[in-house]
Amino acid sequence: FKQEIFLRYARPNQNIQFIGLGKKSEMKLNRLREALILASAHAGRLKVPSLTLHLSSVGSFEDYTVKEVTQAAVESLVLPLYKFTPFKKEAKENSGVKTVTVAVDTAEELTEGKKGLEKAKLFIDSCNLVRNLVNTPHNALKAPDLANMAQDVAKKVGLKVTVFTEKELQKEGFGALLAVNQGSDIPPRFVILEHNSGKKELDTICLVGKGITFDSGGISLKPADSMETMKDDMAGAATVLGIMEMVAKLNLPLHVVGFMPITNNMPSGKATVPGDIVKSYLGKTIEILNTDAEGRLILADAVAYADKNYKPTLLMDFATLTGACVIALGEAGAGIMGTDQASMDKLKKLSCFTGDKVWQLPLWEEYREELKSDIADLRNIGTGRGAGSSKGGMFIQEFISSKTPWIHFDIAGSAFISKPTHRYYPKGATAACVRLVSEFLINWPHH
């Protein structure tokens, strides 16, 4: 598979694209996805206004149905066409592909294909919501703005929504979240979104996402070049909102609750300084030795709140948490870790279908030692340099009951790509894990 595209003259104003897919015996759905992403990007460059894919001619893929292949094809063709333009003086109309058509051979394929198309459209809409939020700069999306956006989405799709302001956070004892917000002039927010509220017979899934609208590092200030893209540090919260939107639109038979702890992380005369000790929502005290390890602080309070008040069947958290994850996996996929091996295996399998990659990292007990503080219950960074992603995950784990199945997604590399080398998306926000986790919830074994 050489990823070459040949264009051949067909009729005036019509081109046919031929894409080499390799040996039929080695055909995987992911290869079709990659080929169509290339085709779409190429058509975009050529400013071709419409694209038609004859799906039946490509044959079968592993055990996937026409519905699934259509969904994959539409996502692959449409997701790469995304452009973020609200801040351009002249918001040029999309000069590239405007319509995508999928052609099939039989009436049966058409019925199935339409279902796949509808699902792909929902997925693409939620991905674009997430990409727009993550790409929006901090001066246009501060904590109250993101909370308002979440309220708007909730209203539109029928989710129950609750927003805590500083007053409620103080009353509830969100000491770690408030410590991160302490240096800021902008108040924090904590958003709770609920689907199928009050339906006790359903399994409860809690989704928690890190919402740092801008991360300067706080008093442990980041160097300038590491700060450039830190508007993306709320990608976890945006991911939760995107998944919640999809869950509501599909009306899944699950009780799903999304949590978005939101603040920026700024240095100032009143900011938390290294060495400060704070009391978390759960009661455990934290010695904050590096104010740039702030994501795990706001998540500590958020996961503890979710766990204690909602007793989830499964708790998942999403965060652009560690640079170590970017070192380990680059921008191609997310690191996952947790205590629910069966669900993580399912996610890995679904990542082959969605092309939304995850790779499991360990939670070895050796690392936990490093999170112990001499004078508090925990320190927010390890004592050594290695295994930063695992230690970040294990810090969050300290705030969840050992009885609650839990999975942590470190999307530090995959949520926002700085170079256009990634084949799947244009540079910037990617909505990593949104399609994967939505697919996972759709496939949840409902009783």
Which one of the listed residues 28, 222, 284, 368 is annotated catalytic?
222
Residue 40 or 280 with smaller CB distance to Zn ion: 280
CB 403 to Zn ion: min, Å: 30
Q: Are 210 and 298 in contact (CB under 8 A)?
A: yes
CB 372 to Zn ion: min, Å: 22
CB neighbours of 94 closer than 8 A, spacing ≥ 6? 81, 83
CB 416 to Zn ion: min, Å: 14
Count, in order, helices (H) and strands (E) of the chain: 14, 18
CB 326 to Zn ion: min, Å: 13
What 8-state DSSP symbol labels residue 232? G
3-state class (DSSP) for residue 8:
strand
Which runs of E-coded beta strand occur in 125-254?
A: 160-164, 189-195, 204-209, 211-215
Size of the site for Zn ion (CB under 5 A): 3
Residue 40 or 265 with smaller CB distance to Zn ion: 265
Residue 75 or 294 with smaller CB distance to Zn ion: 294
Which runs of E-coded beta strand occur in 125-272?
A: 160-164, 189-195, 204-209, 211-215, 255-265
What 8-state DSSP symbol labels residue 231? G
User: Containing H/E element for 176?
Assistant: helix 175-181
Which one of the listed residues 296, 357, 391, 435 is annotated catalytic?
296
Cα–Cα distance for residue pair 43/39, rounded to 1 Å? 6
Phi-psi map region of 13: left, alpha, beta (phi>0 left; psi -120 to 50 alpha)? left
Q: Are 255 and 202 in contact (CB under 8 A)?
A: yes
Residue 294 or 439 with smaller CB distance to Zn ion: 294
Cα–Cα distance for residue pair 56/59, rounded to 1 Å? 6
Active site residue 296: yes
According to CB under 5 A, which residues from 267 to 306 bind Zn ion? 292, 294
According to CB under 5 A, which residues from 68 to 87 bind Zn ion? none
Helix 107-135 and helix 434-442, axial crossing angle in degrees, nearest 10: 130
Q: Write out the DSSP string of 268-306.
A: -TTS--TTEEEE-TTS-EEEES-TT--HHHHHHHHHHHH
Binding of residue 34 to Zn ion (CB under 5 A): no
Active site residue 357: no
Structure tokens at 112: 């199935």
Pairing of strands 189-195, 204-209: unpaired
CB 309 to Zn ion: min, Å: 27
CB 181 to Zn ion: min, Å: 13
What Å distances lie between residue 65 and 81, 111, 150, CA to CA? 25, 12, 34
| Piece in contact with Zn ion (CB under 5 A), picked from 55-63, 104-112, 129-137, 209-217 | 209-217
According to CB under 5 A, which residues from 388 to 407 bind Zn ion? none
CB 119 to Zn ion: min, Å: 36
Residue 109 or 215 with smaller CB distance to Zn ion: 215
Residue 34 or 292 with smaller CB distance to Zn ion: 292
According to CB under 5 A, which residues from 135 to 194 bind Zn ion? none
Residue 227 or 250 with smaller CB distance to Zn ion: 227
Nearest residue to Zn ion by CB is 292
Residue 119 or 379 with smaller CB distance to Zn ion: 379
Q: What is the CA radius of gyration of the chain?
A: 22
User: Containing H/E element for 44?
Assistant: helix 29-45
Cα–Cα distance for residue pair 140/429, rounded to 1 Å? 16
CB 108 to Zn ion: min, Å: 52
According to CB under 5 A, which residues from 215 to 234 bind Zn ion? 215
- Could you list the active site residues? 222, 296
Residues in contact with Zn ion by CB under 5 A are 215, 292, 294
